[in-house]
């Protein structure tokens, strides 16, 4: 005897549409909040950085350290803070995806760190696009130039010191300070 076929709801075709409709409001809500990065971003980043790049065994002298641009810390406009944070994340991703990172660094943690940065870059891009803010013109030119100059000085430091372990330790300390400043910026 043939068993009658049970009717299953036809959700297969509508599931992507439902998921899309559910994610748009969730993304919009988080994007409208002035703190576009979640509250654990800096802490998680610092933990991954510590795991990825342990302090070297030998003591390193860090001379000529670039100073994080103070103009970036005195920004009261939330959308500008988000575009500044995005620009900083782009620069950090560029530095740490370099092939010249030290061999003794934990490769898994470095990949996790880069994935973490990429996730937040993608999130900020979506938020800023959704709010019509993703444009270089929305961030004052002098702030972009300050960020560019700061990260160029970090790249120069690495180059001058032949991407040595101590030079990368210097960068690790700079990035640690950078995350702390970014946390201040987006709060």
Domains of the chain: 39-52+67-186 (1.20.1250.10)
Q: How high is the pLDDT of residue 36?
A: 45
Q: How far is CA 4 from CA 7, 8, 106, 134, in A?
A: 9, 12, 58, 56
pLDDT tens digit sequence for 67-123 = 777 766 666 676 677 788 888 899 999 998 988 888 888 888 889 889 988 998 998
CA distance 40 to 33: 15
> Is 36:124 a contact under the CB 8 Å cutoff?
yes
CA distance 185 to 187: 6
Q: How high is the pLDDT of residue 18?
A: 33
What count of other Cβ atoms lies within 10 Å of the Cβ of residue 3? 5
CA distance 52 to 33: 31
> Is 86:121 a contact under the CB 8 Å cutoff?
yes
């Amino acid at each position: 005897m043939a068993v009658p076929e049970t009717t299953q709801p036809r959700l297969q075709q509508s599931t992507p549409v439902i998921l899309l409709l559910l994610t748009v409001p969730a993304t919009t809500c988080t994007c409208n909040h002035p703190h576009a990065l979640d509250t654990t971003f800096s802490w998680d980043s610092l933990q991954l950085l510590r795991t990825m790049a342990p302090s070297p065994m030998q003591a390193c002298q860090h001379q000529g350290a670039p100073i994080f641009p103070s103009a970036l810390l005195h920004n009261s406009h939330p959308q500008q803070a988000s575009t500044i944070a995005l620009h900083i994340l782009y620069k950090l991703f560029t530095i740490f995806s370099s092939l010249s990172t030290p061999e003794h660094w934990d490769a898994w943690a470095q990949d996790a760190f880069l994935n973490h940065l990429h996730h937040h870059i993608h999130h900020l891009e979506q938020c800023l696009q959704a709010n019509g803010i993703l444009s270089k013109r929305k961030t004052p030119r002098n702030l972009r130039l300050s960020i560019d100059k700061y990260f160029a000085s970090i790249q120069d430091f690495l180059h001058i010191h032949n991407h040595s372990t101590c030079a990368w330790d210097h960068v690790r300390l700079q990035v640690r300070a950078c995350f702390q400043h970014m946390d201040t910026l987006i709060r």
